Structure 1
Amino acid sequence: MLELRLVQGSLLKKVMEALKDLVTEANFDCSASGFSLQAMDSSHVALVALLLRAEGFEHYRCDRNMSMGMNLGNMSKMLRCAGNDDIITIKGDDGGDTVTFMFESPTQDKISDFEMKLMDIESEHLGIPEADYHAIVRMPAAEFTRICKDLSSIGDTVVISVTKEGVKFSTRGDIGTANVVLRQNITIDKPEEAIVIEMNEPVSLTFALRYMNSFTKASPLSSTVTISLSNELPVAVEYKIAEMGYIRFYLAPKIEEDEDETNV
């Protein structure tokens, strides 16, 4: 038996909006510690990991570990029927082939329930190794969204370089080149506007902007984003979800064909 009750139903709606264009179907894993998902996008280039800890729910009951295969587009359609202030309850039976979403208005004068068929989805759990990153950048999520959007009007890829000077986002395309440089700026009175750069060694990596723009759809969940970079490792782009967890995206760097692949 599974029963999860989330007072901030809008959180779940935002999570689905962040995921549904990247991942079409996935298994949600429920255990005593929380509600999680790990899935590759359809082209097997990007990986997403979601965690909503049990403590973040008003009521959380999961009698035994369960895996529920869902079509994220369909789940998103159902969640759009919930008001932003609604309380959302998710219910499922052990071995059942459906999941029920219940939406309650804050005044309790309207209760809707939607039942959705579950799917059998073959999926392998990919071990995400804990990595010591060469550089970690924390910055306002809205700023990262804006940079990715602006650069994608010029080129298809973004080079993210971290040096002691700051972090640089650059692109080149048929019409020209663009560079955006952010310097460390620790704003004490407005911590959400701070740009914090931790660097052990300089990093410069190239990524497809199409995916970066897709990741920024999670920015309504958090005012800040953390970008962790290391040479020869996928970038990790993380958005914290209130006090209850996170959504992390991983994307392998593009190897430039014309560059010498040995790190000089």
Structure 2
Amino acid sequence: MKFIIEKKEKVKQFATIFRHAKSLCENVNLYLNDIGLYIQGMTSCHTSLFELKLSNDWFAEYICERDKIIGVNCELLFKCIDCLQEGQKIIISQVKDRLCLQFTGGKNNIDKNFEMPLITLEEERLEVPAADYDTDITIDSHKFTELINELSIFGEDIRMNCVNNQDDSVFTLTGSGISTGSMIVNIKEEDMIEWCCLDNLNLNLLFSVEYLKNICQFSKINRCLILSISENLPLRISYSLSSWMDKATKGEKEEIDTTMDESNNITFFVAPKIED
């Protein structure tokens, strides 16, 4: 097994994922086959889950001659990734019971080699069924992150209310606490990149701000994210990995690719809080 990540934007995406995966779970299994790489992780309290999908052609080079399941410690992988320097490419391979990482290339950089032990995880892979959501909201990932961080000041939970009827169409976020006051954000359709919504909709759900803040740490992956919300389904937050938020050349208008690449993405699921 061996794969190489070479393009600057993809190296940044991959590094961002594994810098922050440790905030969600301690260990993960890497599922590899000739099609690509799949990772699934879940928080210890089983209220939040994420899936990472990368097809073989996402990589500069990808070799996997037979199906493999490799268990790794997220904290240890983070320590390796944190030594990555600008301009270096990532080479990952398996040698017996060790995972080997190489960071090479880049101007004035020194090549680095790491080895980390593989671990055996007894966790079963959960099948996440495909589902149609009542509303899909595409929004600037940095703006959404700023709002979540501000709302977190006012309480441990964030209420999401989505209304679409003849009189009004608005997505509202509310953070509040008994002693902290409250903050209410009304996001209208013109504040979003895209909004697909059923008619006569009124969704009102409560989520832990801790999990939303953890998911927002991944905002550097893409300039936009997609929020999918339904009454009886977990909140779904998706980042496509097929485009990168490189800075546009000065004076040029940036194009925002809102297409979700079904083969290359990271998707998070968060269960709503049960209210009395």
TM-score normalised by structure 1 residue count: 0.89
Deviations 1:156-186 (A, max 9, x none): 1111111122211012212222210111127
Answer whether contact 1:149 1:213 (CA < 8 A) is retained: yes
Could you tell me which amino acid in structure 2 is paired with residue 91 of structure 1? Answer: S
Q: Answer yes or no: is 1:4 the counterpart of 2:3.
A: yes
Q: Which letter maps to 1:86?
A: Q
Deviation, structure 1 residue 208: 0.5
Distance in 2 (CA, whole Å) between partners of 1:248 and 1:103 is 27
Aligned-residue CA RMSD (Å): 1.6
Aligned twin of 1:255: 274
Q: Distance in 1 between matches of 2:71 and 2:65?
A: 18
Contact (CA 8 Å) 2:205, 2:231: kept in 1 or not? Answer: yes
Q: Is the 1:222–1:241 contact (alpha carbons within 8 Å) kept by the matching residues of 2?
A: yes
> Shift of residue 56 of structure 1?
1.0
Deviations 1:124-154 (A, max 9, x none): 1111110110011110001111111111100
Q: What residue ranges of structure 1 are gaps of 5+ in the alignment?
A: 187-193, 258-264
Moved more, 103-112 or 140-149: 103-112
SS of alignment partner, residue 3 of structure 2: strand
Equivalent residues in 2 for 1:150-189, closer than 5 Å? 150-164=150-164, 165-174=169-178, 175-185=180-190
> For residue 235 of structure 1, what is the amino acid of its counterpart?
L
- In structure 2, the partner of 1:195 is 193
Alignment partner, residue 264 of structure 2? 245
Moved more, 101-110 or 7-16: 101-110
Q: Measure the CA separation in 1 of the matches of 2:130 and 2:86.
A: 35
Aligned equivalent of 1:260: none
Q: How many aligned positions are there?
A: 247
Q: Is the 8 A contact 1:87 1:105 kept in 2?
A: yes
Alpha-carbon separation, structure 1, partners of 2:181 and 2:234: 27
Code of the aligned partner of 1:83: Q
Deviation at 1:26, TM superposition (A): 0.7
Work out whether 1:79 is the aligned partner of 2:78. no
Deviation at residue 202 of structure 1 after TM alignment: 2.9
Asked if 1 retains the 8 angstrom alpha-carbon contact of 2:207 and 2:273, the reply is: yes
Percent of aligned pairs sharing the same letter: 24
Describe how 1:133-152 pairs up with structure 2 within 5 A: 133-152=133-152
- TM-fit CA distance, 1:195: 2.8
Q: Partner of 1:153: helix, strand, or coil?
A: helix
- Asked if 1 retains the 8 angstrom alpha-carbon contact of 2:141 and 2:222, the reply is yes
The Cα of 1:108 is off from its aligned counterpart by 9.1
CA distance in 2 between counterparts of 1:182 and 1:10 reads 30
Structure 1 runs of 4+ aligned residues shifted over 6 Å read none
Q: CA deviation at 1:212?
A: 0.3
What's the counterpart of residue 248 of structure 2? none
Q: Relative to structure 1, is the Cα distance of residues 109 and 150 closer, same or farther in structure 2, using a 3 angstrom cutoff?
A: closer
**Corresponding residue for 2:226?**
226
Q: Is the 8 A contact 1:10 1:86 kept in 2?
A: no
Tell me, which stretches of 5 or more residues in structure 2 are unaligned? 244-262
